[in-house]
Amino acid sequence: MTTSQSQEHLHFVLIPMMSQSYLIPIIDFAKLLSKSNLTISIITTPITAHRYQPTIDHARSSGHKIQLIPLPFPSKEAGLPEGCESMDSLTSLDLVRNFFIATYMLQNPIENLIASMDPPASCIITTNTLPWVAKIAQKFNLPRFIFHHISSFAHLCSHQISLTKIDLSTKSDTDPFLVPGLPDPIHLTRAQLPDAARSEMTDMKRAMDEMKAAEISSDGVIINSFDELELRYAEGYSKVVKKVWCVGPVGRVAASSSVADEEHYCLKWLNSKQDRSVIYVCFGSLCHITTTQLIELGLGLESSNKPFIWIIRKENNSNDLNKWLKQFEERNTGRGLVIKEWAPQVMILNHKAVGGFLTHCGWNSVMEGVCAGVVMITWPMFAEQFYNEQLLIEVLKIGVRVGVDVSVKWGDDHGLGLLVKKGDVKKGVLELMEDGGEGRERRRRAELIGEMAKMAIEEGGSSFLNVRLFIQHAIMVINQKKICSDYNACIH
């Protein structure tokens, strides 16, 4: 095969981690690849396949060769509840280890699947949280690329801290340190670092080392970001791994919507509000927050006297919260809207009435806020979210901190106790939504970056070109591996 041959002979196999934060961007990226006349297969679990099948069917109806391949997930064998096939469905920290054990049990079934594929797999795209995929790629002599659902900024921060051990130079967990080797002065504390970076557990360290080794040994890294947002950090991270392509924002600007989305009652509610007057509040799909903290948040929103839409995950509901919410909603009738179900976040953020976004700083949400051109209140909780906060506040300068200073263990309900008081919430909302001075400048920058995001994915834009450059590079590596394989076969 040569690079001049049609790309229709190429079969890209995607193996994402089972979590919405991974799946949403990687499926959007898969659809982009399928537009380039490639055959695309996404290996996932039955429940996930059922959830995303309408999205894939829509792409197939346009003539794209893309499919979901469901494989049974060994929930029971790994000690998970029946039907637990995604990180979003984990109800406690104790189940996280079992979930990762279950993912390792997928190695042999996926090997067997790839061995039987027709057309044969040409390369693999996966996530760094599935390091055992490296062994599969090696077995079949396939190129392997890592798709990252978080920013170059976060990865470079993490790498520099791990490399220099700068966090160990501080006297306490709350003393700030300057992250070395970055284009901008970024200060963090040890208490804000992801739990994995602070963990003394041997199993955790071993898992992180495996993930890092799998990433560095890959043929390149694809990132859901765009050059105009963080080019200097992408260039910095390209010195850590073999190659970096920023291909985002994948699916975040012009997200397809159904009639049901467009007719959602919250959009009709927003139509009655003044431009840029509403604060949108949502903490993503993985955050478990205590009733005490949710009530404090609600009281802060109420005392700000600003219109708001507040999304509360059903996993965070309790009898005490629902009893309190009933009175809260009555007091805020007309000014506030509480939604205890799924809501079309991209459409909400892009509505002209929304002027700000209170977010947990998960990268998918950050990208959606950036693409909508809205300013943000940052409330990071775990994982890389404190890194993302630094990007929004110190580099892009389009956000306001609510004041969280301590990272918590993901899934630890007790750890997510009273982190922020109602007065801090009120202060953050009022500061973010101010019209003059710094508020006006923040909003101007946010709108400018939002326009850059749209341009990046348009024909001729930076991400548009990076997708093409990635495909060209993948073809080159595929050909190199085929030549080496043919040569080895000849001499033996």
Examine the domain organization and report whether 219 and 284 are in the same domain: no
Closest CA to 181 of 151, 212, 153: 153
Examine the domain organization and report whether 187 and 332 are in the same domain: no
pLDDT per position as a tens digit, 11-51? 999 999 999 889 999 999 999 999 999 999 999 999 999 99
- Report the DSSP pairing between strands 354-359 and 278-282: parallel
- Among 289-298, 385-394, 455-464, which is the least confidently predicted range? 289-298
pLDDT per position as a tens digit, 162-214? 999 999 999 999 999 999 999 999 999 999 998 766 555 567 778 888 999 99
Q: Token pair of 266, please? A: 């919250």
What's residue 145's pLDDT? 98
Domain CATH number, residue 474? 3.40.50.2000
Q: By percentage, how much of the chain surpasses pLDDT 90? A: 79
- Among 120-124, 147-151, 201-205, 224-228, which is the least confidently predicted range? 201-205
Is 411's pLDDT higher than 80? no
Average pLDDT over residues 318-334: 94
What's residue 9's pLDDT? 84
When pLDDT is cut at 50, 70 and 90, the band that residue 3 belongs to is: very low
Query: Residue written as tokens 């007065």?
Result: 423
What's residue 290's pLDDT? 87
Examine the domain organization and report whether 130 and 199 are in the same domain: yes
Sign of CA dihedral 217, 220, 223, 225: positive
Tally of domains in the chain:
2
What's residue 6's pLDDT? 55
CA–CA separation, 388 and 335 (whole Å): 30
When pLDDT is cut at 50, 70 and 90, the band that residue 316 belongs to is: low
Please work out, in degrees rounded to the nearest 5, the angle formed at the alpha carbon of residue 401 by the alpha carbons of 395 and 404. 120
CA–CA separation, 426 and 105 (whole Å): 47
When pLDDT is cut at 50, 70 and 90, the band that residue 259 belongs to is: very low
Position 83 in a domain: no
pLDDT per position as a tens digit, 467-477? 999 999 999 99
What's residue 72's pLDDT? 96
Please work out, in degrees rounded to the nearest 5, the angle formed at the alpha carbon of residue 244 by the alpha carbons of 238 and 246. 130
Question: How far, CA to CA in Å, does 472 sit from each of 4, 36, 319, 390?
Answer: 10, 11, 55, 34
Position 122 in a domain: yes
Examine the domain organization and report whether 444 and 472 are in the same domain: no
CA–CA separation, 169 and 190 (whole Å): 10
Closest CA to 266 of 255, 251, 282, 250: 282
What's residue 185's pLDDT? 97
Examine the domain organization and report whether 197 and 134 are in the same domain: yes
Examine the domain organization and report whether 301 and 415 are in the same domain: yes
CA–CA separation, 41 and 67 (whole Å): 5
Is 486's pLDDT higher than 70? no
Examine the domain organization and report whether 117 and 228 are in the same domain: yes
Position 473 in a domain: yes
CA–CA separation, 428 and 421 (whole Å): 11
Examine the domain organization and report whether 450 and 462 are in the same domain: no
What is the pTM assigned to this prediction?
0.92
Range of the domain at 332: 259-454
What is the overall mean pLDDT for the chain?
Answer: 91
CA–CA separation, 361 and 407 (whole Å): 12
Examine the domain organization and report whether 185 and 287 are in the same domain: no
Average pLDDT over residues 42-66: 94
Examine the domain organization and report whether 213 and 228 are in the same domain: yes
> Looking at per-residue confidence, does 470 or 93 come out higher?
470
Examine the domain organization and report whether 471 and 329 are in the same domain: no
Whether the Cβ atoms of residue 139 and residue 152 lie closer than 8 Å to each other: no
- Report the DSSP pairing between strands 336-339 and 375-378: unpaired
What's residue 261's pLDDT? 59
Examine the domain organization and report whether 264 and 397 are in the same domain: yes
Position 252 in a domain: no
Please work out, in degrees rounded to the nearest 5, the angle formed at the alpha carbon of residue 216 by the alpha carbons of 241 and 393. 55
CA–CA separation, 183 and 311 (whole Å): 36
Position 101 in a domain: no
44 in helix, strand or coil? Answer: strand
123-126 β-sheet, strand order: 66-70, 39-44, 11-15, 123-126, 144-148, 221-223, 244-246
Position 359 in a domain: yes
Whether the Cβ atoms of residue 223 and residue 201 lie closer than 8 Å to each other: no
How many residues belong to the chain? 492
Position 1 in a domain: no
Position 91 in a domain: no
CA–CA separation, 207 and 100 (whole Å): 10
Is 1's pLDDT higher than 50? no
